[in-house]
Amino acid sequence: MTFSATAILVLGLIALFVLALGVWAASTANRLDRLHVRSDRSWQALDAALARRAVVARAVAMAIAGPASTDPLRSERAGQLAALADWAERADRGDRETIENQLSAALSTVDIGQLRPQLVAELADAEARVLIARRFHNDAVRDTLALRTRRPVRWLHLGGTAPLPTYFEITERATPAASTGLEVHTTRTSARVVLLDEQDRVLLLRGHDPMVPEVAFWFTVGGGVEPGETLRETAVREVYEETGQRIDPAALRGPLWRRVAVFPFNGELIRSEELFFVLRAPNFAWRPADLTALERRTITDHRWCTPADIRALDATGEAVYPYHLDELLAEAIGAAGDDTEPVVRSIR
């Protein structure tokens, strides 16, 4: 039996297609496996953050109740908060969102002016960890579902029998007004970018509080996350708006650092959760593309800085944020040249 050249060509194309399909299927299955591992680990991190918040909430309840409180309403609120913290620790996954939302609502009624500063700081840190862990978890779930629900993936059963991950949605607590008289806003999450040029210099912007124009400070590119955005999308948008540069999201490394800061700005008290990415880019002329009216009023200069330049700015009395950026740059430079995603750590 002989085969014609056409038949051989067809068989070869079929074999090539089957091989390509097999390679794609194996690659996709491996990627799905990594995504499932990521979503599992992100849930474990969120579960730990929620458990820590429950412990802090119980401490807050004890502080509210006091050693011998004679106010029945205060005692009742403390008891409810403690009970919700207990239920949150024991709730299974199906009931967890409902209980955690109830705990968030209870925490939103707490007057932080009645708490010790250390306990206020612990509560703020616990809630910040929940906020960040929840967003990382939901990002991981979104990425997993986006691939898992594609038709070819479903047809070939590349996801195996692993259950589909689920989002976790809870309300974010509003912080009550502080005794300073300034309004404390809800937690603002920001994506910031340590933007490095070929000489390992970082781009810093100089700005000031419009209420205190004589006090200048320096900061990295970045800004607040808008509704529906991921941290990475925010970083890409902010780099374009504040520098005029369009960047590939895949070029960002991180988040590398997490910083929690409370500061007055424009007559308000802001509590900001800042996640820092690293980006390597060729040196460019700074031409902001879409600054807000407030940014145009308050951003006055820019500079590509070495660690020595940062120390010089500090010496003039103009603060540089984050703190000790001159010492942190080496870590950012290392992350910029590493293909593996770094582990987020807290900085000041």
Cα-only R_g, the chain: 25
Residue indicated by tokens 């000041």: 348
**Positions of CATH 1.20.1440 in the chain:** 6-156
* Alpha-carbon gap, residue 237 to 294, rounded angstroms: 17
Q: Which residue has the higher pLDDT, 246 or 215?
A: 246
**Does residue 176 register a pLDDT over 50?**
no
Mean pLDDT of the chain, nearest integer: 82
* Alpha-carbon gap, residue 105 to 92, rounded angstroms: 19
Residue 184: DSSP 8-state: B
pLDDT value of position 214 = 83
Per residue in 283-320, pLDDT tens?
A: 888 888 888 888 888 898 999 999 999 999 888 888 89
What is 6-156's CATH number, 3.40.50, 1.10.1330, 2.102.10, 1.20.1440? 1.20.1440
Within 8 A by CB and 6+ apart from 200, the residues are 306, 329, 333
**Positions of CATH 3.90.79.10 in the chain:** 186-346
Intra-chain end-to-end CA distance of the chain, in Å: 78
Which numeric CATH code is attached to 186-346? 3.90.79.10
pTM greater than 0.75: no
